[in-house]
């Protein structure tokens, strides 16, 4: 385990036997929780399958896309999963890229900070009062819900389910610290960005909400590849860093950390549908700034630096462009290094 930090793992949909084995092994190792991300399919089904196979491990949607479903559907899914798991849900909600929300899902993106604030407020009300008949109408700029005749089938296990928000930029960090229970840091972040931009905005958000640092959890996701051959680890991370760099919305971030030209080239290659050129446009220096690579001691030390101000870590392997065999190898090394 990471010294002084709670450790989370990431899981994906898989055959039931494999899923049960994975989550039970994480629980036996003392892992704090598992995140099920939403790339296209929803994360709730994976976590619902994991819930009866475990007893203590937290079950996080990391991250469920907030804008592609009604706040009522999201709240009901969280309440039901909390019942199935005996109160172990962490509801991670993210805005994703505008192109994915509007293009792939056909949903409204709008102004993401205002949209997220509205959804979080509605979900909290539904979780707390959805069984009482007191909700009536919830009306905002993006959603208008007539809940006068709505009732949850059962009272919630908890009147409040923890909500985590992700972030890339400063305002999203501030908003997470103001209105959410935790922040799940983006794996694109490097140490300089966290120290210079993230931590001050967490403080500002907590000050705005009148809360102390202990009232809020900061979990940072980190791309990590353990290999005694450092060059091979860099090469194996390149496609993942390139893929996560393709969104034009992230260009300002890369400009601020010194890789604006490289990110622009990656994004242009993505727009042309040229994945090979995307990878070629991602230099070693950009990979090493974002992913933690090297032998086990180097990666442990790098993760410790990256997470110095965090309460928890979510180390994840590079997952694009790798063979299944290599993915298993990196996963096993990560487990040995961080999961006990």
**Tens digits of per-residue pLDDT, 63-120?**
999 999 999 999 999 999 999 999 999 999 999 888 889 998 899 999 999 999 999 9
Could you tell me the residue ranges of all domains in the chain? 6-228+291-338
How far apart CA 226 and CA 230 sit, in angstroms, is 8
Question: b/e for 123-144, b at 16 or more Cβ within 10 A?
Answer: bbbbbbbbbeeebeebeeebbe
How far apart CA 89 and CA 91 sit, in angstroms, is 6
Q: What are the φ/ψ torsions at residue 110 (nearest 5 degrees)?
A: 70, -150
Is residue 229 classed as helix, strand or coil in its secondary structure?
coil
pTM: 0.95
Percent of the chain scoring above 90 in pLDDT: 92
- Which tokens sit at 189? 């972040």
- Per-residue pLDDT at 42: 86
Burial label for 55, CB within 10 Å (0-12, 13-18, 19+), is: exposed
How far apart CA 260 and CA 272 sit, in angstroms, is 18
Class of domain 6-228+291-338: alpha beta
Helix (H) or strand (E) holding 199: helix 199-209
Compute mean pLDDT per 10 residues along the chain, 340 residues long, and list them. Answer: 84 93 96 91 93 98 96 98 98 91 92 98 98 95 96 94 97 98 97 98 98 97 98 97 92 97 97 96 98 98 97 95 92 92
């Amino acid at each position: 385990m990471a010294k002084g930090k709670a450790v989370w793992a990431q899981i994906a949909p898989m055959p039931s036997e494999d899923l049960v084995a994975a989550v039970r092994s994480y629980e036996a190792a003392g892992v704090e929780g598992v995140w099920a991300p939403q790339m296209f399919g929803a994360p709730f089904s994976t976590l619902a399958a994991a819930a009866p196979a475990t007893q203590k491990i937290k079950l996080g949607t990391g991250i469920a896309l907030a804008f592609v479903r009604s706040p009522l559907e999201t709240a009901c899914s969280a309440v039901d999963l909390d019942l199935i798991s005996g109160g172990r849900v962490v509801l991670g909600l993210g805005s994703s890229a505008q192109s994915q929300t509007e293009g792939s899902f056909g949903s409204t993106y709008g102004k993401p900070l205002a949209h997220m604030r509205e959804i979080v407020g509605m979900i909290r009300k539904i979780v707390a009062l959805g069984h009482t008949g007191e909700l009536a109408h919830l009306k905002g700029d993006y959603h208008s819900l007539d809940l006068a005749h709505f009732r949850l089938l059962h009272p919630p296990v908890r009147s409040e389910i923890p909500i985590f928000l992700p972030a890339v930029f400063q305002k999203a960090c501030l908003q997470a610290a103001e209105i959410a229970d935790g922040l799940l840091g983006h794996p694109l972040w490097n140490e300089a960005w966290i120290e210079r931009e993230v931590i001050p905005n967490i403080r500002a958000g907590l000050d705005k909400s009148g809360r102390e640092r202990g009232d809020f959890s900061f979990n940072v996701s980190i791309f990590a590849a353990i290999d005694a051959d450092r060059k091979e680890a860099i090469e194996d991370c390149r496609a993942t860093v390139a893929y996560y760099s393709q969104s034009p919305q992230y260009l300002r971030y890369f400009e601020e950390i010194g890789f604006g030209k490289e990110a622009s080239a990656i994004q242009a290659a993505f727009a042309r549908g040229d994945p090979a050129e995307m990878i070629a446009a991602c230099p070693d220096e950009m990979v090493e700034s974002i992913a933690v690579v090297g032998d086990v001691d180097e990666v442990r030390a790098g993760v410790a630096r990256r997470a110095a101000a965090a309460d928890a870590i979510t180390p994840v392997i590079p997952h694009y462009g790798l063979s299944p065999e290599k993915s298993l190898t990196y996963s096993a090394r990560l487990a040995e290094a961080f999961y006990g």
